[in-house]
Amino acid sequence: MSQEKEENFKKGPGVFLKVGLPAAIIAFLGIIISLIYRIISYSNLILKDLSNYLSKEKVSEVLLHERNTEITTGILSVGAGMLALFLALFIFSRFTEGLKEISQILKNAQKGDLNTKIKIRSGDEIGEISHSLNQLVDYLRESQDILKKRDKEIQDKSLELTEKIKELEGSSQETEEARLATLNILEDVEDARFQLKGEKERIEKIFLSLTDGLMVLENGEILLMNPVAEKMLGTEGENTLEKPLNDLSRFQNLKIVYQFLKQNTKRPISRQEIIFGKPELTLQITVIPIATNQDLIVFHDVTRDKLVERMKTEFVSLAAHQLRTPLSAIKWTIRMMLDGDIGKISKEQRDFLDKTYQSNERMIGLINDLLNVARIEEGKYLFKMSPIKIEDIVQDLVKSYKEESIRKKLILEFKKPKEKSPMINVDTEKITLAIENLINNAIRYSFPGGRVTVSLEYGKKEVEVRVKDSGAGIPKEQQERVFTKFFRGANVIRMETEGSGLGLFITKNVIEAHGGKIWFDSEEKKGTTFHVVLPVKS
């Protein structure tokens, strides 16, 4: 109990003082009344003894006075008794009331109610007991509050401990799972290491047994080189690993490779051919990036292929030249016969000679195509470059095919741009041949009643020629082979059996030799559009 609460209680007179003082007074009054009663008794005895000496009137008066005294004494006795009884009852009720209140407080405390207090009405022993009991209840309530607080803290700690136990159990389970996973990973790593070792051995065997040369470079240094590459580059038996290419200039072939890689930094480099010195060696080089600073270089020996290709080209060129001379002689002889220079011929003879002349013309055309292909493969195709207007070439070609388009019942039109035609530097003969091949194909493979449109479009840096037809189109599965040698679509072979399949190959090489591009858009049975773009040069 606090100091303030203790000061509110002031100790007063005790119960014994409160009860004893009135009791003493009542007892004193009883003693007085008893003495009076005894005096009256003695006075009766005396009166009996004096009755012989006093007159009857005096005796009667004395007896009357005595009787009044007895009555008064009796009344006083009864009053004193009633007062004593009332005082006893009052003191008992006050005493029992305090005890009942104390008893009720104790019962409430047993039930857990510590918020009720005893009202202190006096400073006696009952008040002191009540005060002490109030202090005890306050102490118990404070202790109960502390216990509740500590109980809550214990519960919170218990919950926290439970959570930690759960976390520890979870982490323990996770640790066990992690341990098992680690063991599994280690097993997998061991298996992978074993497999990797076997794979490494297989790769090494493949690396050593390949017929192509292989070299791995890292930041310009040689990491690996198989025996075939060593033989090709002339470094057999030499220690070239972990050495920069530019430090190996004593090996002529390695020096050429280094200069080539230095000039061609674009990655990847594929199908680039290098001709080395004597003995003549032609290698096709492919550079494949395999890591951030690592490159795999593949050397493929195409010397024999190039030799065979050159021999084939020379044979085709020789055969074409040898065939063109007699075919030209046959052409002019037949022409003389048709013109009547040798003599008159019948109608039937003229028909036979016409067919022979057309067949001879096709043979001459095929020979010319073969010669053009031979020149293209030899790199000797363009040799008469001159500035011209592409519009003049296209317009002349369209006019030359007017009769053919009318014969096939086609609409042939030329869309001329409004802008002034720029000058371009080209080989006029070869460009004319390339565009003629496109127009010829468009007319040959279009259906009667169709349309062929040739248009031009000028830009600041290039001109575009478009040849659009509404013909047979190119099957989708065959479009990748359009610009290869001797290719003809399966659908057009049924329409036109004659043809060499060299026209688009020649056209593509002519356009690309001029620094241009060619492509097409086609859909079977709906037609084809060829696009030719040539650079404008001052």
The CATH number that applies at residue 473 is 3.30.565.10
Tokens of 325: 């001379």
Separation between Cα atoms, residue 208 and residue 225, nearest integer Å = 9
Answer whether residue 12 shows pLDDT above 50. Answer: yes
pLDDT mean over 51-63: 64
Q: Are residues 81 and 204 in the same domain?
A: yes
Within 13 Å of residue 205, how many CA atoms lie on the same side as its CB?
Answer: 6
Residue 86's pLDDT is what? 75
Q: Check: CB of residue 297 under 8 Å from CB of residue 221.
A: no
pLDDT tens for residues 296-336?
888 888 888 877 777 777 776 677 777 778 888 888 888 88
pLDDT at 344 > cutoff 70? yes
Least confident of 50-59, 376-385, 482-491: 50-59
Residue found under tokens 């053919």:
404
pLDDT in tens, 207-248: 777 788 888 888 888 888 888 888 888 887 778 888 888 778
Q: Give the phi and the psi of residue 413 in degrees, each rounded to 5.
A: -130, 155
- Is 454:441 a contact under the CB 8 Å cutoff? no
Q: What is the mean pLDDT of residues 151-161?
A: 84
Instruction: Say whether both 214 and 319 belong to one domain.
Output: no
Residue 452's pLDDT is what?
Answer: 94
Predicted TM-score (pTM) of the model is 0.47
Mean of all residue pLDDT scores within the chain: 78
Position with higher pLDDT, 114 vs 303? 303
Give residue 529's pLDDT: 94
% of the chain beyond a pLDDT of 90:
12
Same domain, 200 and 134: yes
Q: Is the pLDDT of residue 176 over 80?
A: no
The predicted structure's pLDDT at residue 50: 57
Say if strands 451-458 and 411-415 run parallel, antiparallel, or are unpaired. Answer: parallel
Domain identity same for 204 and 352:
no
- pLDDT-wise least confident of 10-14, 366-370, 478-482, 491-495: 10-14
Q: Is the pLDDT of residue 439 over 90?
A: yes
**Distance between CA 444 and CA 358 in Å, rounded?**
16
State the Cα–Cα distance between residues 92 and 84, nearest whole angstrom.
12
**pLDDT higher than threshold 80 for residue 436:** yes
Backbone torsions φ then ψ of 514, nearest 5 degrees: -90, 5
Domain boundary pick from 269, 301, 333: 301
Let me know whether 497 and 437 are in one domain: yes
- Segment 271-299 mean pLDDT: 80
Which CATH number fits the domain that encloses residue 367?
Answer: 1.10.287
Question: Are residues 396 and 323 both part of a single domain?
Answer: no
Together in a domain, 101 and 184: yes
The total number of structural domains in the chain stands at 4
pLDDT surpassing 90 at residue 399: yes
Domain check: are 336 and 254 in the same one?
no
* Three-state SS at 470: coil
Do both 190 and 249 map to the same domain? no
Same domain for 21 and 108, yes or no, is yes
pLDDT tens, position by position, 447-469: 899 999 999 999 888 999 999 99
| Average pLDDT, integer, range 392-400 | 92
Residues 72 and 201 in one domain: yes
More confident residue, 114 or 274: 274
Q: Does position 199 have pLDDT exceeding 60, yes or no?
A: yes
- Domain edge (last residue) among 377, 400, 415: 377
Segment 259-288 mean pLDDT = 76
Confidence class for position 2, pLDDT limits 50, 70, 90? very low
Q: What is the pLDDT of residue 24?
A: 67
> φ, ψ for residue 458 (rounded to 5)?
-105, 140
Q: Which domain holds residue 40?
A: 1-209
- Which range (33-47, 80-94, 330-344) has the least confidence? 33-47
CB-based contact 226:213 (threshold 8 Å): yes
- Name the domain boundary from 301, 331, 349: 301
